[in-house]
Structure 1
Amino acid sequence: MNIFKSVIYPPPSLFLNVLTGVCLIAQANYGISEVRGAHFAYSKFWNWKEDSCSKSSACIAAKVSGRTGMLISYTPPLVAAVTSFFLPGVLAAPRGVLVCAALGLHFLKRDLEVLFIHKFSGNMMIDSAIPISLTYFTHTVLIIVSQYFSTGMSEPEINLTYAGIVLFLVGITGNFYHHYLLSKLREKGDKTYKKPTGGLFNLVICPHYLFEIIDLFGIALISQTLHPFCFAFGSMCYLMGRSVATRNWYKSKFENFPSGVKVLIPYIF
């Protein structure tokens, strides 16, 4: 407990603590659902729900293009991060400025990748885009609110700001690089899937998820409030589940898929 107090600001309110716990449980459950085969319907799994709906006349599978779905997912939290710069209380301390800037850069990069880097081979179900968007938006707002309440409190004994900046930069750069490698797998108009290569793809199936986790823990270290740590941990649970599902998908599609390629962490998992 003493170590906990030395690195994290005291949680500001019971209400915020409850919201943090609910969000963490929801994200962990998303990861379990991915492993069980109940996927968020985007990327390789965009049509799994449509296929199940086709068996039931009562089921309507509303969808948008993959690019539109991703913009729906990432733009609201970007707007929340940008809006925070017009709230002086949040930006009263350098740590608040860094947290809001990191959140803004995280989601701005996402939107720019959607617009200029990613190549989409399918659609995205609306009932996946909306929950993802709400999850990111809610967590972004709660991180900003947590930072606001920490203004004026005594700083944690151990300052992790600089370590967080390093982790954030490593994470956002590694995530972008592996997204770029994925975008180069297909020529224009090609919608076939290929096994990714280059970077850490020869060691893990989803290195872009690994670096996203590093990115989010970097933001948590910059903030040193409870909610971003829970958000990073919850995201890790979800992305681990999504990575397991992705590896199983590749193994089903490609013969002689190398057993040495791990799920998320090189040589370990």
Structure 2
Amino acid sequence: MNSIGWYGALVALEFVLAAVTAVALLWIKAPYGRYQRGGWGPTIPGRIGWIVMESPSVVVFSAVFVSGAHRDDLVALVLLAMWLCHYVYRAFVYPALMRPGSRMPLLIVALALAFNVLNATINAWWVADLGGYADSWLTDPRFLAGAVLFFAGLVVHVRSDHTLRRLRSPGETGYRIPYGGGFRWVSSPNYTGEIVQWFGWALATWSPAGLAFAVYTTANLAPRAIDHHAWYRDRFPDYPADRRALVPHLL
């Protein structure tokens, strides 16, 4: 099988994983965060877990990128910067800001790490090697629309994380109803923002890998957002009745 064949097979695998993940999460709540529970094997501190499972998206993407034939091209470098804007935050800044005490099953970390190695590989492979973008791509409507969606989603994602962190005072435990920002409309604007980001990436790269990642992100986060919404409604009788799970006024 040539390189194009391998690339196509890996992209197809990611679409398959998206379908499997969506079906599995209809029945199982991933056991971390508010759904942490026993029976999933050994656990590690949540902060370490996030760094271990998310850092391949920085390390592997960068390693594949520098081996690509177009690694010095302007568009490839711009797309690299976009990718790192998200994953430096997700792999290193976000864990550093987490409150200590949470734990995560090692199994979840291992599964996420494996996915991120696959996903970083196929996206970097396209951006730095197979894509072959001309500089004029930076003025193409698909790139411009995708970049707007990507950075708008990133802002919503980061701001929502900040709102959630500020709900508790130092040393305080438990949960409260979040307000403000995207929480005016949905229960999980951090997930909404991330889904928007990766559909923006799919547009900006106009790539099979980008589309596969956007579909997988939706398959992974939409069920969890729906679970969060139901959890809030069950736990808080005064939860805002007009708030939706993931998409304002719709879902």
Q: In 2 relative to 1, CA 264–201 (structure 1 residues): closer, same or farther, beyond 3 Å?
A: same
What is the CA deviation profile of residues 134-161 of structure 1, one whole-angstrom value per residue up to 9, with x for unaligned ones? 21221111111122112279x88x6522
Structure 2 gaps, min length 5 = none
Q: In 2 relative to 1, CA 221–79 (structure 1 residues): closer, same or farther, beyond 3 Å?
A: same
Matched, 1:23 2:14: yes
Residue 143 of structure 1 contacts residue 227 of structure 1 at CA under 8 Å; is this kept in 2? yes
Question: What pairs with 1:201-216 in structure 2 (closer than 5 Å)?
Answer: 201-216=183-198
Higher relative contact order (CA 8 A, sep 6+): 1
Over the aligned positions, Cα root-mean-square deviation in angstroms equals 2.4
Aligned to 1:86: 66
Aligned to 2:219: 237
AA of the residue aligned to 1:127: L
Residue 35 of structure 1 contacts residue 241 of structure 1 at CA under 8 Å; is this kept in 2? yes
TM-score w.r.t. the length of structure 2 is 0.88
Query: Does the residue aligned with 2:84 lie in a helix, a strand or coil?
Result: helix
CA distance in 2, matches of 1:197, 1:267: 17
Residue 76 of structure 2 contacts residue 133 of structure 2 at CA under 8 Å; is this kept in 1? no
Deviation at 1:187, TM superposition (A): 0.9
Query: Does the residue aligned with 1:64 lie in a helix, a strand or coil?
Result: strand
Which has the higher mean CA deviation after the structures are superposed, 224-233 or 254-263?
254-263
What is the CA deviation profile of residues 98-126 of structure 1, one whole-angstrom value per residue up to 9, with x for unaligned ones? 2222122211011202102x335521111
Deviation at 1:249, TM superposition (A): 1.8
Matched, 1:102 2:92: no
Structure 1 gaps, min length 5 = 1-11, 54-59
Aligned to 1:63: 43
What is the CA deviation profile of residues 69-105 of structure 1, one whole-angstrom value per residue up to 9, with x for unaligned ones? 1111211111123335533524242221122221222
Residue 75 of structure 2 contacts residue 133 of structure 2 at CA under 8 Å; is this kept in 1? no
Aligned to 1:183: 165
Query: Does the residue aligned with 2:184 lie in a helix, a strand or coil?
Result: coil
AA of the residue aligned to 1:14: G
Deviation at 1:32, TM superposition (A): 2.9
CA distance in 2, matches of 1:152, 1:266: 35
CA distance in 2, matches of 1:124, 1:210: 23
Q: In 2 relative to 1, CA 81–14 (structure 1 residues): closer, same or farther, beyond 3 Å?
A: closer
Residue 95 of structure 1 contacts residue 161 of structure 1 at CA under 8 Å; is this kept in 2? no
Question: What pairs with 1:28-177 in structure 2 (closer than 5 Å)?
Answer: 28-36=19-27, 38-47=28-37, 50=38, 53=39, 61-84=41-64, 86-87=66-67, 89-110=69-90, 111-116=92-97, 118-119=98-99, 122-147=102-127, 148-151=129-132, 159-177=141-159
CA distance in 1, matches of 2:9, 2:62: 26
Aligned to 1:4: none
Query: Does the residue aligned with 1:77 lie in a helix, a strand or coil?
Result: helix
AA of the residue aligned to 2:109: A
TM-score w.r.t. the length of structure 1 is 0.83
Aligned to 2:5: 14
AA of the residue aligned to 1:24: F
Q: In 2 relative to 1, CA 68–149 (structure 1 residues): closer, same or farther, beyond 3 Å?
A: same
Q: In 2 relative to 1, CA 35–152 (structure 1 residues): closer, same or farther, beyond 3 Å?
A: closer
Pick from 230, 238, 247: which aligns with 2:229?
247
Structure with the higher fraction of residues in helix conformation? 2
Query: Does the residue aligned with 1:200 lie in a helix, a strand or coil?
Result: helix
AA of the residue aligned to 1:244: I
